[in-house]
Amino acid sequence: MSTNKNEEHNHNHSADFNQLLKSNGLKITKPRLRVLEVISDKKTAIKQPELEKVFGSEIDRVTLYRILASFEEKGILHKIFDLHGTATYAICSTKCSADHHHDQHVHFICSICNSVYCLDEISVPKINIPSNFSLHSIAINAVGICDSCQDSQT
Ligand SMILES: [Zn+2]
Ligand SMILES: [Zn+2]
Ligand SMILES: [Zn+2]
């Protein structure tokens, strides 16, 4: 399954990351660049425990947590919860900005490998909520078997 998001990922390189941090008013630091590098390199969204494992002693947990929180706040990453409720992160579209995410797409979660895919081309339907409620976001998770797990079953 190739999504627009993945194609975008392939165009990213460190120069873009420098620019991305700068335009969001974030200082360019090695840990921040490393987090962007690792997350954008993946075909699927990456789980926080996986990031902790990748960075090991390179980036401590608290720093990593702060980086992820600030990236989410700035509209650089969006967070999805997988089937176990684990925080999983994916790079945002370029339309996202601070306090204003436009990641209203469906996420696909594989019930075999628990991978989270951004289905950028499938937007979530508009829903009518009671007028005295204020809507911030809608999350739709489609659950099923992803393409690589389908392949390994046949
Ligand atoms: Zn976003
Ligand atoms: Zn799978
Ligand atoms: Zn997404």
CA distance 28 to 17: 9
Answer yes or no: are the C-beta atoms of 106 and 118 closer than 8 Å: no
Residue 154, pLDDT score:
67
* Nearest Cα to Cα of residue 34 among 7, 11, 57: 57
CATH code at position 89: 1.10.10.10
- How far away, in angstroms, is 150 Cα from ligand 2 center? 7
- For residue 45, the ligand closest to its alpha carbon is 3
Domain span at residue 33?
Answer: 4-153
- How far away, in angstroms, is 54 Cα from ligand 2 center? 21
Length of the chain as a residue count: 154
Over residues 72-127, the pLDDT tens digits come to: 999 999 999 999 999 999 998 878 888 788 888 999 999 999 999 999 899 888 88
- How far away, in angstroms, is 153 Cα from ligand 1 center? 33
How many domains, the chain?
A: 1
CA distance 40 to 1: 16
- For residue 118, the ligand closest to its alpha carbon is 3
Predicted structure pTM score: 0.82
